[in-house]
Amino acid sequence: MCLRSNPTHCFLPPFVIQEIAENGTPAQQAHARQNMASSWQIRSFRAATTGADSIIEQDDVAVSTMEERLIYDAEFGSILPGRLVRGEGDPPTADVAVNEAYDGAGATYDLYKDVYGRNSIDDRGMPLISSVHYRIGYDNAFWTGRQMVYGDGDEDLPPQDRLFNRFTISVDVIGHELTHGVTQLESGLLYSGQPGALNESISDIFGILVKQYELGITAAESNWIIGEGLFTKNVNGVGIRSMKEPGTAYNDPVIGVDPQPGHMRDYVNTVEDAGGVHINSGIPNRAFYVMAMEMGGNAWEKAGRIWYVTLRDKLYATADFTTAAQLTFDVAGDLYGRGSLEQQAVRTGWTAVGLEVGDDGGEDNPVEPPDPPAQTGCIESFLSMSFMQRLFGR
């Protein structure tokens, strides 16, 4: 398996930090500016890590059949991975972030291994490396192409100004970011426009499935909230995104209003956020929610399998929403039969967000991938240059 190029994927959308920088208290604004500057400096982090800025060539890696989690402490700096503080099989430490990163990586590994037969991120037993305590007051988590990195949120601010808790607190955040590694090695979805929104949506899908699988709850029992627990009590919101009702996760005078649409009629055309990758992902997110509810039971069993097989075998770098709709419909037919209840549930899900699928897909009429263009990353499009100039007075 060869590597596809990969940007650094950040969990917290850039527009949230922009809102804080414009609407927060003086302490919150200064903190937001610091976080934006840190995000622009992630390229420097890449230079500080050992090796290339992406997963090593898989053909050169021996296959491992054992789970291996390695948790490092960045000790509030930016040199990664940091100091090893917990390895596979080691007992819990006194550091809650270390234990959450360890357990969340394990929950993600378990879903992929137990349900889909995937052996870690690369399907060859790749060690799951995480670094906690990245920088001071870093409000984000990200996948570098080699490992996970977690900030501590606003722990450096006074209680009345804190907006974010530590980013290891939500297991779906961990599952979300690690899934970027799976997408990187399988479909290589470009991180811009609709392919980028699909990339983000797939991470949300498997992030929520990690949480549901860990809790042992059905689709109907889940609240379908991504990033639950990240906000402090100072924020009027339940999480970063709602897959059930995109656009309703938060409505707060400091961080703004959740901008996600849940239907193609409300699709947001923008050059910000890498073409709206964290915004328009609400559309396929809601489609998956509807599919899972239509199928009933445990969402990871059928709806999740349809998406996993589509990601592994069918999706390609420039796939858009219409392509994903047709491919998931075809895969549902391959797995459960043409005209099956599962295939009709996939149709219902996409119809609910304004996208139609045809009945003439499948092996006889495959969706052919075009040649992919060059890829851009989230850091390159994290914030508009004009906004940065206005914010920092340059």
Question: Catalytic residue positions?
Answer: 177, 278
Inter-CA distances, 67 with 33, 178, 353, Å? 39, 14, 38
- Return the half-sphere exposure (C-beta side, CA atoms, 13 A cut-off) of residue 173: 28
Contacts with 125 (C-beta within 8 Å, 6 or more apart), sequence order: 63, 64, 65, 66, 67, 68, 119
Closest CA to 319 of 223, 190, 233, 207: 190
Q: Residue 355 CA to chain centroid, in angstroms?
A: 23
Contacts with 106 (C-beta within 8 Å, 6 or more apart), sequence order: 67, 69
How far, in Å, CA of 89 to CA of 156, rounded? Answer: 32
The structure tokens listed for 202 are: 């797939």
- 8 A C-beta contact, residue 357 and residue 343: no
Q: What is the DSSP letter of 260?
A: -
- Angle (CA) 218-307-203 rounded to 5° is 80
The structure tokens listed for 13 are: 């959308």
Other residues' Cβ atoms within 10 Å of the Cβ of residue 269: 8
- 8 A C-beta contact, residue 352 and residue 288: no
Torsion of CA 17, 179, 304, 171, to 10 degrees: -60
Q: Residue 207 CA to chain centroid, in angstroms?
A: 7
The structure tokens listed for 336 are: 């459960």
How far, in Å, CA of 70 to CA of 354, rounded? Answer: 43
- 8 A C-beta contact, residue 216 and residue 111: no
Q: Quote the strand ranges of the chain, DSSP E.
A: 9-10, 69-73, 83-86, 128-132, 141-143, 148-150, 225-226, 241-242, 251-252, 256-257
The structure tokens listed for 76 are: 């509030």
